[in-house]
């Protein structure tokens, strides 16, 4: 090959490799907190948690149904506000193949039970006693809502309070066809 | 139009930019021809980037190849890095949310802190522009090394024994003179140089003695070390290579270890020990540090558990005990590349509260109950037909809203209860709101009350979880770097050329990249033994001899 051409190709390859390496480092650092655990499109991390009645809920058992995961705590005011909305929408979508799993972060059975009784919640409420599921979903702020499609993929991640309308639309979006 | 080649008088075709003919060493540029002593840096080879400058790629390449650009990048990086030390970086600031961080900088450092935070200087080392700066420095190191190292290597491996007189006469150290028998003298020189551990090559009536050529590679080796180091640091962003997390764990709790999926830690006990004061007051460590109380030990007695293979997050059945360990400062619990360090603590969080159910008038007790604040029961049976039911519990009471007690946080900083007390004397039950230093009877005057008896507290331990798989790479990079520095600093590349000229004289020239004193000592021995004429130092820098040193590749 022509010496000049060879030189150009070598230089281009070396520079391109270096630029790619730097771009990767910068990109990874910039998106570290957001992507290290969970992103829309990922397979939702499977988990197994126990509800107040002592029943075990495994996410993968709900395959074929849309799952509305809601991380919450009794002290969290926005969580408290959206719970009745979720309950209303649940009544409507439960028969259409959408399940709600409300995941409490490591509170006592007593407090969670009181809360459930107070608002008459119909959907299963599980307690993440060891915070392992919270870590797996990289939940930092509450409330946090994760939508899981019937195929088990994450389709939406929302941190913060939702309106009843939003909750309805979100459940509609994960309704099995 | 750029020139492609330069043809030397000897007929050798050199690349454009060459200063000294690759074959015979004749000076090729006007500048070189006019100097007394030739520029031996890179042995007169054309620096590659200086040779071609046509396409965009070449222009970018040449930019990074420039030593001036490299030095500018080093200075900019150093200045930027030093700005990051003005105030503590964000990862040293122990606050929760982004808003808290902003407030922290403003409250602690005033307007300067606010500006510092707003400019992103509080997280400088993770900023895109700082990383790009370091990346550009990396490119500069690599490109400049390729551009200079490869031609130098070629030139050093293709050295000819016989050089042109004009090359030799332009060396810094030169000797010229009559000898009785040039062949005999050359043989004597060869013998002496060999005794001094030089590699000697002969080509007819020319001789080249050379020593420690490898020292010319020192700078390139230490550049390789730097690159390995940079690669190691960059690998931190690759998932699984680097973990730096922290968590707070209460005594008695078992929670998943942050950043260590599948592992759980149980805090059996947190211990804080102080140096004790003698009867006559502080002594020893207290006096030395000028304070009354000095901590002696921070310790967490912990148990590390692992989920069975294939278990799901949240599933805590059948946890296997991995290790039981007392984590102390500088004595982390280590497992599978992870280290758990003792970092922080919180003392005396309320854990249990004991109440006595008594009649207000007679102070007759119906029995006691102890509420475990992290796991209260719905009802407590006190026996003899008396019981207490908890109607509501708020761990961190923050007032009423629509008659319902509200809580700020899930931690029991200010616990409050609504109790329903039932005794044989009051079978319908009485309701009482009980908080610290506050009792209300919302449904009317009660006969009985819950009297606070005692409370127990527990401590929390703050641990950091650290894993760094990049350390071995960084260590290797550091070692390579130091080897390069040592090679370049403690060995010098020394060369001596000797040849018989056409006029029947003997011409000698010597060059070293460092330490001219050293090569002169070698020459003294050789000249003495071979009865040669005395050499001349053309720069004659007897008292400022260090001036030229240290910057030749």
Q: Is B409 within 8 Å of chain A by CB? A: yes
Name residues 364-383 of chain B within 8 A of A (Cβ). Answer: 374-378
Is the Cβ pair B314, A128 closer than 8 Å? yes
User: A70 pLDDT exceeds 80?
Assistant: yes
DSSP line for B179-228: -S-HHHHHHHHHHHHHHTT-EEEEETTEEEEEE-GGGGGHHHHHHHHHHH
Nearest CB to B312 within list A12, A26, A46: A46
If pLDDT is split at 50, 70 and 90, which confidence band does A112 have? Answer: very high
Q: Which tens digit of pLDDT belongs to each residue from B315-334? A: 888 889 999 999 999 999 99
B-chain CB neighbours of A21 within 8 Å are: 135, 234
Contact B234 A21 (CB under 8 A): yes
Residues of B in contact with A26 (CB under 8 A): 128, 131-132, 135
**What is the C-alpha separation between B131 and A19, in angstroms, rounded?**
12
What distance in Å separates the CA atoms of residue B499 and residue B164, rounded to the nearest whole number? 10
Q: Is B407 helix (H, G, I), strand (E, B) or coil?
A: strand
Q: What's the pLDDT at B541?
A: 54
- E-strand stretches of A48-123: 48-50, 56-58, 66-72, 98-105
Backbone angles phi, psi at B191, to 5 degrees: -65, -45
Element housing B553 (H / E): none
User: B284 pLDDT band (50/70/90 cuts)?
Assistant: low
Q: What is the pLDDT of residues B146-195, one digit of tens each?
A: 989 998 999 899 888 988 888 888 899 998 888 878 888 889 899 999 99
Residue numbers in A near B139 (CB within 8 A): 15, 18-19, 22
pLDDT at A111: 92
Residue A162 φ/ψ region, left for φ over 0, alpha for ψ in the -120 to 50 degree band, beta for the rest = beta
Strands A98-105, A66-72: pairing is: parallel
At residue B277, the pLDDT reads 67
Residue B48 parent element (H or E):
helix B48-51
How many angstroms away from the CA of B305 is the closest CA of chain A?
A: 12
According to DSSP, residue A94 is labeled G
What secondary structure letter does DSSP report for B90? Answer: G
- Whether A4 and chain B come into contact, CB under 8 Å, resolves to yes
The predicted pLDDT at position B546 comes to 47
pLDDT of residue B126: 84
Place of tokens 């979880």: B465
d(CA B327, CA B532): 74
Give the chain A residue whose CA is nearest to the CA of B409.
Answer: A75
Q: What is the CATH number of domain A48-173?
A: 3.40.30.10
- Supply the mean pLDDT for chain B: 86
Looking at CA atoms only, how far is residue B467 from chain A in angstroms?
A: 16
- Rounded to the nearest 5 degrees, what angle is found at the Cα of B238, between the Cα atoms of B234 and B239? 150
Give the per-residue pLDDT at B263.
92
Confidence at residue B2, expressed as pLDDT on a 0 to 100 scale: 46
Is residue A135 within 8 A of residue B261, CB to CB? The reply is: yes
Lookup result for tokens 């400019």: B119
The whole-angstrom distance between residue B380's C-alpha and the CA centroid of its chain comes to 56
Residues 90-129 of A with CB under 8 A from B: 105-111, 113-114, 126, 128-129
Confidence of residue B94 (pLDDT cuts 50, 70, 90): low
Mean pLDDT to the nearest integer, B354-367: 91
A143 upstream amide cis, omega within 30 of 0: yes
Q: Is B91 exposed, middle or buried (0-12, 13-18, 19+ CB in 10 A)?
A: exposed
DSSP B218-282: HHHHHHHHHHHHHHHHHGGGSTTTEEEEEEEEETT-EEEPTT-TTEEEEEEEEEEEEPPPBTTB-
With cut-offs at 50, 70 and 90, classify the pLDDT of residue B90: confident
ipTM of this predicted complex?
0.82
A contacts of B390 (beta carbons < 8 Å)? 110
């Amino acid at each position: 090959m022509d010496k000049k051409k060879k030189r150009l190709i070598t230089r281009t390859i070396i520079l391109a490799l270096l630029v790619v390496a730097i771009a990767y480092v910068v990109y990874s650092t910039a998106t570290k907190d957001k992507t290290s655990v969970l992103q829309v499109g990922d397979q939702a991390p499977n988990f197994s948690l126990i509800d107040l009645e002592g029943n075990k809920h495994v996410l993968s058992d709900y395959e074929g149904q849309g799952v509305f995961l809601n991380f919450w705590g009794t002290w969290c005011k926005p969580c408290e506000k959206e719970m009745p909305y979720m309950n209303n929408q649940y009544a409507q979508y439960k028969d259409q193949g959408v399940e709600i799993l409300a995941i409490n972060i490591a509170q006592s059975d007593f407090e969670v039970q009181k809360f459930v009784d107070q608002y008459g919640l119909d959907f299963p409420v599980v307690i993440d006693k060891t915070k392992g599921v919270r870590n797996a979903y990289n939940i930092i702020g509450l409330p946090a809502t994760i939508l899981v499609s019937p195929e088990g993929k994450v389709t939406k991640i929302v941190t913060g309070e939702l309106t009843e309308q939003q909750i309805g639309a979100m459940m509609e979006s994960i309704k099995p066809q | 139009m750029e020139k492609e080649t330069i043809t030397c008088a000897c007929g050798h075709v050199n690349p454009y930019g060459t200063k000294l003919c690759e074959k015979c060493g004749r000076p090729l540029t006007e500048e070189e021809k006019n100097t007394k002593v030739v520029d031996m840096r890179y042995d007169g080879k054309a620096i590659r980037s200086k040779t071609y400058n046509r396409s965009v790629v070449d222009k970018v390449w040449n930019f990074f190849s420039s030593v001036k650009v490299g030095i500018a990048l080093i200075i900019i990086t150093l200045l930027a890095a030093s700005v990051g030390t003005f105030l503590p970086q964000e990862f040293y600031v122990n606050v929760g949310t982004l808003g808290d961080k902003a407030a922290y900088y403003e409250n602690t450092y005033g307007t300067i802190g606010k500006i510092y935070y707003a400019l992103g200087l509080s997280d400088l080392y993770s900023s895109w522009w700082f990383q790009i700066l370091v990346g550009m420095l990396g490119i500069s190191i690599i490109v400049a090394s390729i551009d200079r190292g490869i031609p130098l290597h070629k030139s050093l491996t293709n050295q000819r024994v016989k050089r042109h007189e004009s090359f030799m006469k332009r060396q810094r150290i030169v000797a010229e003179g009559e000898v009785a028998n040039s062949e005999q003298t050359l043989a004597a020189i060869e013998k002496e140089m060999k005794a001094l551990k030089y590699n000697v090559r002969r080509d007819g009536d020319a001789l080249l003695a050379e020593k420690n050529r490898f020292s010319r590679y020192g700078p390139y080796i230490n550049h390789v070390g730097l690159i390995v180091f940079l690669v190691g640091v960059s690998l931190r962003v690759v998932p699984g290579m680097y973990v730096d997390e922290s968590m707070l764990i209460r005594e008695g709790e078992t929670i998943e270890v942050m950043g260590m999926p599948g592992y759980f830690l149980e805090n059996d006990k947190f211990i804080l020990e102080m140096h004790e004061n003698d009867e006559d007051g502080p002594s020893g460590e207290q006096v030395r540090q000028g304070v009354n109380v000095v901590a002696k030990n921070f310790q967490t007695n912990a148990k590390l558990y692992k989920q069975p293979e294939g278990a799901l997050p949240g599933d805590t059945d059948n946890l296997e005990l991995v290790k039981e360990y007392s984590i102390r400062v500088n004595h982390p619990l280590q497992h599978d590349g992870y280290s758990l360090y003792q970092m922080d603590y919180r003392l005396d969080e309320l854990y249990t509260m004991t109440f006595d159910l008594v009649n207000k008038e007679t102070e007759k007790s119906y029995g006691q109950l102890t509420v475990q604040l992290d796991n209260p029961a719905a009802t407590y049976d006190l026996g003899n037909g008396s019981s207490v039911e908890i109607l509501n519990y708020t761990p961190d009471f923050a007032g009423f809203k629509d008659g319902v007690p509200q809580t700020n946080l899930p931690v029991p900083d200010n616990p409050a209860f609504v109790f329903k007390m039932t005794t044989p004397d009051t079978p319908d039950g009485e309701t009482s709101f009980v908080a610290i230093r506050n009792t209300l009877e919302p449904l009317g005057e009660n006969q009985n009350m819950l009297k606070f008896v005692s409370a127990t507290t527990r401590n929390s331990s703050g641990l950091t979880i650290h894993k760094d798989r990049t350390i071995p790479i960084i260590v290797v990079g550091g070692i390579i770097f130091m080897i390069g520095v040592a090679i370049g600093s403690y060995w010098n590349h020394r060369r001596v050329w000797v040849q018989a000229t056409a006029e029947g004289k003997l011409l000698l020239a010597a060059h070293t990249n460092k330490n001219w004193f050293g090569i002169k000592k070698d020459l003294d021995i050789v000249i003495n033994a071979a009865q040669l004429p005395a050499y001349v130092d053309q720069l004659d820098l007897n008292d400022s001899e260090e001036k030229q040193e240290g910057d030749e590749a």
